[in-house]
Amino acid sequence: MMGKRKVRRGGGGGGAGVAAATAFVCAVGMSAAPERAQAAPREPTPGAGAESGAGSEGAAGSSLQEVHKKVQGLYRKAEAATDAYNLAREKQARQEKRIVKIAQSVVKAQKRMTGLRKRAGAVARAQYRNGGIPPEAQLLLGDDPESFLDDITLARKGQQATRGLMNQLEKTQATLDGYAKAATREWERLDSSRAKKAAARKEIRAKLAKAKRLESRLKAKERERLRQLEEEQQRQAQTTWLGSGILRKIGGKGTSRGLRAVDFATAQLGKDYVWGAEGPDTYDCSGLTQRAWAVGGRSIPRTSQEQWRQLPKVSVERMRPGDLIIYFKDASHVGMYVGDGAIIHAPRPGRQITVAGAGSMPILGVVRPDGVEG
């Protein structure tokens, strides 16, 4: 596990980024590509090689390759499900807020309706006291011809006021009906989000439990070898990425906001990955990037998939410190570019926030939270 390292402010391959990452990336870039391990065409049997004596090392290695592949696949699926969980949780929170706002609006509308009904009741009582005779008839029955015209004007104003009162009552009732329908729709959406969240949680727990069962069957030496296999796979991918000469094209300098986000992410090095966690002691991959950019002064979506969908995209060649690299076809993982061909990310359960090669996983694309050109 890497310790916390100081970030040097600046751009890409021109000497900026994470100081520790420079040594890491250079070592990765200069090392020979590791030998390709051959997968055995049988179910993994961890520990078999340790008990088989001479000539069994290759078989044990093949078994570990299969375990590694299965464990990685399970963690990838769990991470994708974690994104679904986080998105459903985020939607649920928004829907709950909307329901509260609707309820507050209903209270205001009901108060208005109560006042209008009181006024309508007063008008009805006034008519009752006059024997229920319409104002026009009362005018015709009056015995003061001189005030007849004035009374007609007043009567018309009274009629307009009554019609206005009735219109207000109808509009307020329609508003209340609209709120009722809106609340029903939001409750249905809320129930849907809760169901999706529960399903995602169930899937996550099942995948993580299966991965842990696979890893728990390994002996200590095999678990260490499994970690080495992960690192070898990532090192090979990083070597290939660097071999393309990509670092000669990347030289953008981070903005003040981007560098604040990088500083925050760097300060989290060594903390555990926990699915669904947003800090301050543990994070998942997108929880880390979201929190880092909040410190940088920008609010970004909670999940890597939504970060990919909503944030401005830039090419890898224009990448600069603070940008987010989205990984895998389903956008299920994210890391923060910190310069010198390196990222800081929260890898998976059982691992800690660390520095890694930016090309150590399949890159889907790059997004820029601050949206500033340059």
Q: Contact, 257 vs 370, CB < 8 A?
A: yes
Q: Contact, 1 vs 270, CB < 8 A?
A: yes
Q: Contact, 322 vs 297, CB < 8 A?
A: no
In the set 197, 201, 333, 348, the catalytic residue is: 333
Q: How far is CA 288 from CA 270, 276, 300, 345, in A?
A: 12, 10, 11, 8
Identify the three-state secondary structure at position 17.
strand
Q: Contact, 367 vs 307, CB < 8 A?
A: yes
CA dihedral of residues 81, 84, 90, 92 (deg, nearest 10): -100
In the set 20, 71, 285, 314, the catalytic residue is: 285
Question: Does residue 345 carry a catalytic annotation?
Answer: yes
Chain centroid offset of residue 208 CA: 20
Q: What angle do CA 205, 206, 210 make, to 5 degrees?
A: 115
Rounded to whole angstroms, the Cα distance separating 231 from 237 reads 10
Question: Does residue 333 carry a catalytic annotation?
Answer: yes
Identify the three-state secondary structure at position 289.
helix
Q: Contact, 81 vs 202, CB < 8 A?
A: no
In the set 91, 207, 225, 345, the catalytic residue is: 345
198-202 long-range contacts, CB within 8 A, separation 24+: 200/81, 200/82, 200/84, 200/85, 200/88, 201/85
Q: What angle do CA 258, 1, 213 make, to 5 degrees?
A: 110
Residue type, 202: K
Counted residue by residue, the chain has a size of 374
End-to-end CA distance of the chain: 34
Q: Which residues are catalytic?
A: 285, 333, 345
